[in-house]
Amino acid sequence: MSRIVVKCGGAVADAAAGAVLALADAGHEVCVVHGAGPQISQEMERFGIAVEFLGGRRVTTPAGLAVVRSSLAAVNRALCASLGPRALGLGGDEIGLHAVRVESLGLVGEPLPSRPPAVVAALAAGRIPVVAPLAVGPLNVNADDAAAALAVGLDADRLVFVTDVPGVFHDGAVLATIDAGEADRLVGDGTFEGGIVPKLRAAVAAARRGIRSEIGETAVLG
């Protein structure tokens, strides 16, 4: 039996339930971390709050943080409902996910490797913890980074990113593999932009700690 952290974006949260349940039914311990990017942006626009990203991470004001929390809570409830009675919804800030504040982004944190007792207990009981990516503070944390931090802290065997794209595209094709050094180079020279950047950075961080990391069909190698 292996321990797997699955990160699913807000755009594919409901669709990811089948993949998560398949892993759990195969006997794996599965911890889910979800985002709510589209939902947060839509709600911020509705309330007249500026939507701004730097390096793929959302700039978060106090007003924005309230929207982040409510949007994450809604996605968490919906995903838990899709997963069924084994799911256990958890807020990262409530279970001890810690982060270092990134002042330039407002109320945003860079998550630290964490092993929340609530997650460990849920896995031991055969549950599927579903974690909303907030950190103690509270601070908004990127869901990709939160998934990597939990994967490292939980000594996970795999980190799986479920996305609305088949994998990492480069030169017109989906890559079967990409090593950490190449990923760093391509991110650094601006080849990759937008949402794939934090995913790659998170996958690289986990891969370098010996965790098998996959973004769709692309394996990220340490």
Q: What is the CATH number of domain 3-162?
A: 3.40.1160.10
By DSSP bridging, strand 134-135 and strand 139-140 are: antiparallel
Q: In a structure prediction context, what are the per-residue pLDDT tens digits for the chain, which is 222 residues long?
A: 799 999 997 677 777 899 999 999 999 999 999 999 899 999 999 999 999 988 778 999 999 999 999 999 999 999 999 999 999 999 999 999 999 999 999 999 999 999 999 999 999 999 999 999 999 999 999 999 999 999 999 999 999 999 888 889 888 889 999 998 888 898 888 888 777 888 999 999 999 999 999 998 999 998
Alpha-carbon torsion (83, 201, 203, 122), positive or negative: negative
Residues with Cβ within 8 Å of residue 137, at least 6 apart in sequence = 93, 99, 101, 107, 109
Q: Is 148 left (phi over 0), alpha (psi -120 to 50) or beta?
A: alpha
What pTM, to 2 d.p., does this model score? Answer: 0.93
